[in-house]
A and B are shown apart, each in its own frame.
Chain A
Amino acid sequence: MEPLIEARSLGKVFPMGGGPVHALRDISVQIAAGEYLTIRGPSGCGKSTLLHILGCVDTPSSGTLRFDGRDVSALPDHARSDLRLRSIGFVFQRFFLLPMLTAAENVDVPQAEAGVSRADRKRRTAELLDYVGLGHRAGHRPSQLSGGEAQRVAIARALANRPRLLLADEPTGELDRANGEHIAELLDRVQADGTTVVVVTHDAALAERAGRRLVMRDGLIEREEHAR
């Protein structure tokens, strides 16, 4: 079967005043549809950069990236936006929910952007908030939610348009242990329900949950581990 993601020799260089920074040197990885992959490694080793490139938020300086068989390494901006909107969900360390909108409205935003009808959006939003266990908090603003709750809303938002791929960058980075555990369980469930999940994390416990784990160092994949 063709992998959902196929990265070949990805490199990323940031031209800086004090000389170029090689954030990614030579990364090749294939991710099958439905897989759960975690990426860990010391700070600054290029995890976020890799995640951004896999999520079509950034472009590689070298190498190629195929998403669902299609070369996306050099797509124009609007095409990448559209791909992200419909096929990729992002979860951020700091949630980045829109503070002026309620939980339900935050989940509604990407669906409206994708042109989903009002009735379908309403149904899907209710379903997603129930899925993350926050159906009763639909009308609450992010400021009225705990960090763990906000991150669950953010996951619901990332899943709004039924993406093939869910990407999370340190999703438990701002949370205490109990809440982190809760998010980890939720991500397990998302993967079990058929979405490909890639998580970047420092959190060893979270990293251990995935069937496949990459360990990075200095812009390279140092090793790959598999759960037995």
Chain B
Amino acid sequence: MRALIFAVRSLVRQPGRTALGIIGIAAVGALLFDMLLLSRGLVVSFRDLLDSVGFDVRVTATDSPLPGGIRLTDATGAAAQIARLPGVAEAVPMRTATGEVWQTGRPVIGLMLTGMDPGARRPWTLITGADLGPSLAPPDLVVNQSLMDEVGGALGSEVTLRTGCDSSRAALAPRTFRIVGIAQFPFDDEAQRTAVMTRTALREACGDDKDEADMLMVASSGGAGAAVAAIRAARPDLVPVTNEQIVARMQTQGFTYFRQISAVLSTITLLFGFLLITVLLTVSVNQRLAEIAALRALGFSRGRAAADVLLQGAMLVGAGGILALPLGFALSLWLDQILKAMPGIPASMHFFVFEPRALVLHAALLVTTALLASAYPMWLVARLPIATTLRNEVVG
């Protein structure tokens, strides 16, 4: 009789207890798995989002990775110079602003505006209609679905838009634009209203004479690192950062809450799993003391008797841990939806993201738990006094 079959039979013999153990570990394991998906989910998802845009380097005038810092001037020239560097495929200036749609008799609609010329890559994905063209009479506007819904008109209709370019500058007069297309913007959340126009159109709307941009979006041709080095050498006054660097910065500054929450909850979860298995195995061992003593008398070594307990623990945790994966995955989808309902979260971003390393960690943590949880009942079995136990069984 192989040790495995032996342990399986021992477990099957106590179906209720075994089911309790497996279900308990499945629940604990599902939570653990979710915590692992959560611990890096936002970071991974943010990196995917940055990568999906197609540009892997961002160049700004200051050390701030996101819009809002000091702007680049002579952006067209800088973009052209960088685009010519070896290892750079494309460099496109981008300018952001705010806007308000004015419609007679209706409330003003606020929106986020981007000024960027569509090149080989663009951060938005056209759904219907046309992309931005060079026309300036009136200039083209590509909007997202929620802005389109709000404005109400059809593609090709004109809207009056007042742009807000700088808090320092006076309010500008509203201008007319034509909505030519509907697109998806990767960083949009469910409620956000977004529009993009050409940089020339935005420059004109802002009355901007310095050819400003918030950043240059750069696509490398031979790796972001090489492109960054080339840009640094050519333009020491500018600050190029890779997506990886942005993510790394996020990881140390922005998204640590989830890592911490996940670490605390995982620990508590594992503690419960540990207690559950320890209790179940200990109860089972205590019920079988006489039987174990008899096996020892028949020649089972200490190690063999203890290994049987370990094997049972491992099988409970193994079965529960495997069951935990689909359970945890389903749970993570549900939790992700709940968290994503928070305002300001880009629709394509996720809190729970699967990575192979989560699976490895899940397995490693559960194996450790199984080992620790089996330790006490194994010790009970190993130091079991055979003669006294056999005698107690008959006398008691």
Instruction: Say what secondary structure dominates the interface of chain B.
Output: helix
Given A100-B10, A100-B12, A170-B394, A82 and B294 contact (CB-CB distance below 8 Å): no
The interface residues of chain A lying within 8 Å CB-to-CB of B334 are none
State A92–B302 Cα separation when bound (angstroms). Answer: 20
CB under 8 Å from chain A, chain B span 382-396: 386-387, 390-391, 393-394
Q: Contact between B1 and A92 (Cβ–Cβ < 8 Å)? A: no
Nearest Cβ in chain B — how far from A41, in angstroms?
15
Per-residue A-contact encoding for B14-53, CB less than 8 Å = 1, 0 else? 0000000000000000000000000000000000000000
Per-residue B-contact encoding for A154-171, CB less than 8 Å = 1, 0 else? 000110010000000110
By the criterion of a CB under 8 Å from any partner CB, how many residues of chain A are at the interface? 38
Per-residue B-contact encoding for A82-96, CB less than 8 Å = 1, 0 else? 111110111011101
The interface residues of chain A lying within 8 Å CB-to-CB of B301 are 77-78, 81-82
Nearest Cβ in chain A — how far from B265, in angstroms?
38
User: CB of B193 within 8 A of chain A?
Assistant: no
Nearest Cβ in chain B — how far from A132, in angstroms?
16
User: CB of A69 within 8 A of chain B?
Assistant: no
Task: Identify which of B6, B12, B13 gathers the most chain A CB atoms within 10 Å of its CB.
Answer: B6
Per-residue A-contact encoding for B158-171, CB less than 8 Å = 1, 0 else? 00000000000000
User: CB of A42 within 8 A of chain B?
Assistant: no
State A92–B297 Cα separation when bound (angstroms). Answer: 10
CB under 8 Å from chain B, chain A span 42-69: 48-49, 52, 55, 57-58
- Which residue in chain B gives the minimum CB-CB distance to A112? B1
Give the residue of B12, B300, B304, B390 whose beta carbon is less than 8 angstroms from that of A92: B390
Task: Identify which of A81, A84, A157, A170 gathers the most chain B CB atoms within 10 Å of its CB.
Answer: A81
The interface residues of chain A lying within 8 Å CB-to-CB of B304 are 113
Q: Contact between A112 and B2 (Cβ–Cβ < 8 Å)? A: yes
User: CB of A6 within 8 A of chain B?
Assistant: no
Q: Contact between B290 and A109 (Cβ–Cβ < 8 Å)? A: no
The interface residues of chain B lying within 8 Å CB-to-CB of A57 are 296-297, 386-387, 390
- Which residue in chain B gives the minimum CB-CB distance to A83? B299
State A105–B6 Cα separation when bound (angstroms). Answer: 10
Q: Contact between B290 and A90 (Cβ–Cβ < 8 Å)? A: no
State A105–B391 Cα separation when bound (angstroms). Answer: 25
State A57–B302 Cα separation when bound (angstroms). Answer: 12
Q: Contact between A110 and B299 (Cβ–Cβ < 8 Å)? A: yes
Q: Contact between A105 and B1 (Cβ–Cβ < 8 Å)? A: yes
With A81-B299, A101-B9 already in contact, 10 other A-B pairs whose C-beta atoms are closer than 8 Å:
A52-B386, A58-B387, A81-B302, A85-B298, A85-B300, A90-B297, A98-B9, A113-B300, A113-B304, A169-B394
9 A–B pairs (Cβ distance < 8 Å), ordered by A: A52-B391, A58-B386, A78-B302, A81-B296, A94-B290, A94-B394, A98-B9, A101-B1, A169-B394
Task: Report, nearest first, the 7 A-B pairs whose CB atoms are least far apart.
Answer: A85-B299, A96-B294, A58-B387, A100-B13, A52-B387, A81-B301, A100-B9
